[in-house]
Amino acid sequence: MKAIKHTISCSWITLQRQTTQIVLVLFVLFGTLVAKAQKDAVDWVNLYIGTGNGPIGYGGTMPFVTPPFGMTNWTAQTRQNKLSVVSYHYADTTISGFMGTHQPAIWMGDYGYVTLMPEIGELKTNPEDRKLAFTHADEIARPDYYSVWMNAGGQRRIRTEMTATERCAYLRFTFPANDSSSVIVEASRPGVAGFAHVDSAAREITGYNPDRTDAGLGPLKLPNFKGYFVVQFRKAFSDSGVYGAMMQQAGVATGAYAKFKTTEGEIVEARVGTSFISVEQARENLKAEMPAWDFDAVQRELRATWNEKLGRIAVEGATDDQRRIVYTALYHALLYPRIFSEHGRYYSAFDDTVHQGVSYTAYSIWDTFRAEHSLLSLMAPERVDGMIGALLQNYQEGGWMPKWPNPSYTNIMIGTHADSLVAEAINKHFRGFDYKLAWDAVYKDAMTPPDGDTTRRWADREPHTPYEARGGLTYLKKLGYIPVDKTAEAASRTLEDSYDDWCVAEVAKALGKTDEYNFFRNRSLNYQHLFNKATGFMQGKNADGSWADPNDGWTEGNTWVYTWAVMHDIPGLMQLMGGRENYNAKLDEHFRGGHNVHGNEPSHHYGYLYDYSGQPWKTQAKVREIAAAEYANLPSGIDGDDDCGQMSAWYLFTALGFYPVNPASGDYMIGSPLFTKMTLRLANGNLFTVSAENNSAKNVYIQSATLNGKPLTIPVIRYDDIVAGASLKLVMGPAPSRWAADWNPAPLKTSAQVSQK
């Protein structure tokens, strides 16, 4: 997923380095001044973090006006988004529209989108022709409200304001005096057979957009898929019409327009309902979510929603910049997965029909299983049952739980890490989904090879293949590993499938399936087949058992990255390496040699690995170092695609002082909290606090720890401790201590060894 990102980031940095540096300085000064006067949690969110290139990276984020987990996100459109391009970039100086988008990340495309744009004078439907200049000085961007003044020429300006609900948007356009003010509604782009209709008597424009990028990736055609919309105006039209109808192949977009005669400063209001069920459902969504023409009321409600959510974290001892990073990270983490149902019904992008129930989509699971979903179990537990239930519905409707639904199967990335999400939810005592159905789904992932498994390479983003599931599983069941000469990315697959097998074993244990538990627990040790004792690294194998080229068989990484990927059995990996001393020396070399690439998710838990090997003080120093280097209150403040909240989740956990190395286990490994105190206001009414006495940029090392007043001598805290309400108190100092250095966790054993205990 990151390959596209790094190419784009490098080119932007090269082309715009000098301009970016100047903008960044002004950006920080402005942000600091504004922050001093604000108190609400929502006001600490900096929507520009991740939207621009610079010295740290490009997060591929967008300044969305939307509720937490909103179905449709609203943003100014500074460029035409597509796979590898998102709608908004901080360096851009023109706007071509205001978009209801469903694109979750730069490397994943959009679907069912709709765009509005105010204009004066001659009607301009082409995005290049309709662009209007703007500056960030004339822009306000918050989760609950967006506003921008655009230069319409001749000293005339047009203002757009936006606020939103889960499925709808409310826009206000402020026009100059003009006999030909207009709002265009772009239903679809050139080459896409969209539809638009005007009902001037009802002051309404309706239509649909059938475009979806995943149609070029996954196996399902979905002839019924459409993104429907209803746009209602408060002011009567002076004229209206459609454009581009029946001309899609001629390179003309499809849409409609409404014209108005406006006086100086007159506001034209529009409400937009979206749906994946029907135009009528879009209209019903509007009735349910925006029953009155009251922009301010909608905005107040959205602001209150965000303040409640963001207010679940309280921070003490943070600078203004750090506070902005914290609340922006939480905002980003609370965007995904997005709701995909509409007041009790949902369109399924797996069987192309409408069902009763709750649904979610935009799970970047290869990224987000590592920490994002673990964060949601603490910050939005009320959503977890529905999110797991949605994956199980996808299984029933499409045959498999998806690995990256957007909204259908995409076959992007490897493994079946939905198994991890299910196991984590079960181990954290969520009960609002069918455990038997969950077992059926994870068992199929683990035991059923995908169609054509031995005749396909399963290359990344290979178009129109059957659902990939665990590509190469046929070989793994015979050999204990996936051979590099048979299946693409085979070494990475073997290691990640081993973790997923551990997760399947956990589901079996919860259902009392002892034989299955033992089987999958044993199979989770398959990672050992790839450890080359002669080199001390993981290495792919060929079908004949010979070692493959050390550079072959990896996805978005190499042997340095994947040697440490054994999330469920770090002590077992340490044993393979010959014990603590060898393990620590190699981990030192990993960081010293620049092999830790934090901008990509496989490296996210590596800073915490010294906790297992008697040197937790190195974890404490390393995670502080990574947090300082990889995150900032800047447009370039995320080093790499945020990936639906995973990069942000890493920062939030690290700020709290702990991280889920094995997310499905419910264990969190302790690092070094960034601030003197953080409090989680949990949904069950309990408080969890982390206090760090003497904490500072220099005092990064834990000297002692207590949990609820009792000494804590291991570098681990459990989910159950957190949700019960607890106080973790740490005493910090400038030099390493022996705190938690004597912890010596045992490696996983095979079931036969376990039974002999």
| Tens of pLDDT, residues 740-750 | 999 999 999 98
**Closest listed residue to residue 634, CA positions, set 29, 170, 14, 65:** 29
- Amino acid 463: pLDDT: 84
User: In this predicted model, what pLDDT tens digit does every residue of 315-340 receive, in sequence order?
Assistant: 999 999 999 999 999 999 999 999 99
As to burial, measured by CB atoms within 10 angstroms (0-12 exposed, 13-18 middle, 19+ buried), residue 549 is exposed
pLDDT digits (tens, 9 = 90+) for 618-668: 999 999 999 999 999 999 999 999 999 999 999 999 999 999 999 999 999
What SS3 state is found at 105? strand
Per-residue confidence (pLDDT) for residue 247, from 0 to 100: 56
Q: Is the pLDDT of residue 384 over 70?
A: yes
pTM of structure: 0.94
Comparing CA positions, the residue from 103, 9, 50 lying closest to residue 647 is 50
Tally the C-alpha atoms within 13 A of residue 710's C-alpha that lie toward its C-beta: 5
Q: Is the pLDDT of residue 5 over 50?
A: no
Asked whether the beta carbons of 622 and 347 are under 8 A apart, the reply is: no
Please say whether the dihedral angle defined by the alpha carbons of residues 33, 37, 43 and 45, taken in this order, is positive or negative: positive
Residue 461 is predicted with a pLDDT of: 84
In contact, 672 and 701? CB cutoff 8 Å: yes
On whether the CB atoms of residues 681 and 632 are closer than 8 A, the answer is no
Distance CA 641, CA 298 (A): 31
Q: Where are the beta strands (DSSP E) in 556-621?
A: none
Alpha helices in 480-615 (DSSP H): 490-510, 514-523, 559-562, 570-576, 580-592
Kindly state the average pLDDT of the residues 406-429.
97
**How do residues 498-546 score in pLDDT, each as one tens digit?**
999 999 999 999 999 999 999 999 999 999 999 999 999 999 999 999 9
3-state secondary structure of 542: coil
Instruction: Give residue-wise pLDDT tens across range 685-708.
Output: 999 999 999 999 999 999 999 999
Q: What is the pLDDT of residues 570-606, one digit of tens each?
A: 999 999 999 999 999 999 999 999 999 999 999 999 9
537 beta partners = 532
User: What does DSSP assign to residue 745?
Assistant: P
Which domains are delineated in the chain? Answer: 70-293 (2.70.98.10)
Q: Report pLDDT for 638.
A: 97
Burial of 214 (0-12, 13-18, 19+ CB in 10 A): buried
Q: Rounded CA gap, 89 and 260, in Å? A: 31
Beta bridge partners of 687: 681
Torsion of Cα atoms, 124 then 128 then 130 then 131, to 10°:
180
